[in-house]
Amino acid sequence: MSGEDQIFIRKGKRIRLEAFQHQVGGHTPIFKCGYSTVCKAFNRREYFIYISASPELESFLPKLIGLMEVGYAHSEGDIEIYGQQIQLLDKDRFLYKKENQFLLKSDCPQKDVTEEVHRSSVEKLFLHSDRLQPSTGISNPYSNSTYVRALERLKDRKPPHYFTLLEDLTHSFSRPCVLDLKMGTRLYGDDASEERVVFHKIQSEMTTSCRLGVRVGGMQLFKREQNKYLCYGKHHGKALDDEGFKECILEFVKHNNNFRFDLIGILVERLKTLRKIILKMDGWRFFSSSLLIIYEGFEASTSRIDIKMIDFTRSTNGKFLDDRIVHNGPDDGYILGINTLINIFENLGS
């Protein structure tokens, strides 16, 4: 985390919330918050997964930076965004959410968590109206459209809103190539309605999720010779058959029509390490979560590639407050997806 971000988070600092230009998938809009931090709407189940993760699993997650209370107002045609950081809550003092108030587990429902937390001084964060329009130049159209829609929705909502501050996984890359993979065979959580269960079962059966345990959720691939990104969205991923999925995955690791074997070798080893971790996680399920693969697209000589697990709003480990279903064994659907990726890359090498 940069010094700028540390100052903001610890003491409060005037800072812009901007569109996160490298969001390639997902329904929840992500905002850029400083040099190396992003923020997204708080989800208590997702937050619980972050604070419950073992040190092994944490190496495959974005770093959890903190929580922030954000409000929205209008000022002379601009959108004014203001926020306060609130303290991190550990899993032993985890919270319920009721009527927009956060309540400690030990005190629920009598005592408001805000009586316990330290708040930094209020700082106003400004987002000027010219940023409501999609930016030009090198950018992902999906992130721009998601951002614009998010701001339009936020105009109609009353503050406060709670956001989770996370590490920006792309901040150290000049031109990040990003692949968002929707992992697992099951796309709905344990608390889904019957209607949503039917919908997601059909969606899984009609895509590579059911057969391969993984589908493309979105992708941006930097084309240096054209100085722009090649972008695919979730609808492209849903339309791919098994062979099309394989071709899309292999296209992601090409530079000037040549496969980046230097990256592929590292990627396979990371996937195998993640598989070992998931295999030991009895009762954990990462329903409808994503796996991000990121590497530098500007310099082909840079052999650095990273993979991270994200989006845990439907995940469970049987210990969350609302969980009524306890699963046995590891997440076989997720492991199927990892095996699919490993097989594609290893068969290419052979």
Nearest partner of 123 among 6, 11, 1, judged by Cα: 11
Contact assessment for residue 104 and residue 93, using Cβ atoms and an 8 Å cutoff: yes
318 and 344 within one domain: yes
By the 8 A CB rule, do 11 and 18 touch? Answer: no
C-beta separation of 337 from 210 below 8 A: no
Both 205 and 335 in a single domain?
yes
> Which one is predicted more confidently, 177 or 88?
177
The verdict on 25 and 146 lying in the same domain is yes
Q: Please state the separation of Cα 108 from the chain's center in Å.
A: 30
pLDDT score, position 79: 55
Instruction: Give the whole-number percent of the chain exceeding pLDDT 90.
Output: 45
pLDDT of 58-113, one tens digit each? 999 999 988 877 666 555 555 555 555 555 555 555 544 443 444 444 333 322 33
Q: Identify which of 267, 258, 342, 331 has the alpha carbon closest to the alpha carbon of residue 303.
A: 267
Q: Are 30 and 17 in contact (CB under 8 A)?
A: no
Claim to verify: residue 135 and residue 274 sit in the same structural domain: no
Give me the mean pLDDT over the 310-335 stretch. Answer: 91
Other Cβ atoms within 10 Å of 233 Cβ, number: 19
Rounded to whole angstroms, the Cα distance separating 284 from 332 reads 10
Give residue 98's pLDDT. 42
Give the domain extent around 256. 176-349
Alpha carbon distance 170, 172 (integer Å): 6
- Tokens 């931090």, residue? 37
At residue 346, what are phi and psi to the nearest 5 degrees? -70, -35
Bigger pLDDT: 89 vs 174: 174
Same domain for 186 and 150? no
- Looking up residue 244, the CATH number of its domain turns out to be 3.30.470.160
Residue 155 scores a pLDDT above 60: yes
Asked if residue 180 and residue 227 are part of one domain, the reply reads yes
Residue 312 has a pLDDT of 96
Question: How far is it, in rounded angstroms, from Cα 221 to Cα 9?
Answer: 32
| Residue 282 backbone dihedrals phi, psi, to 5 degrees | -65, 125
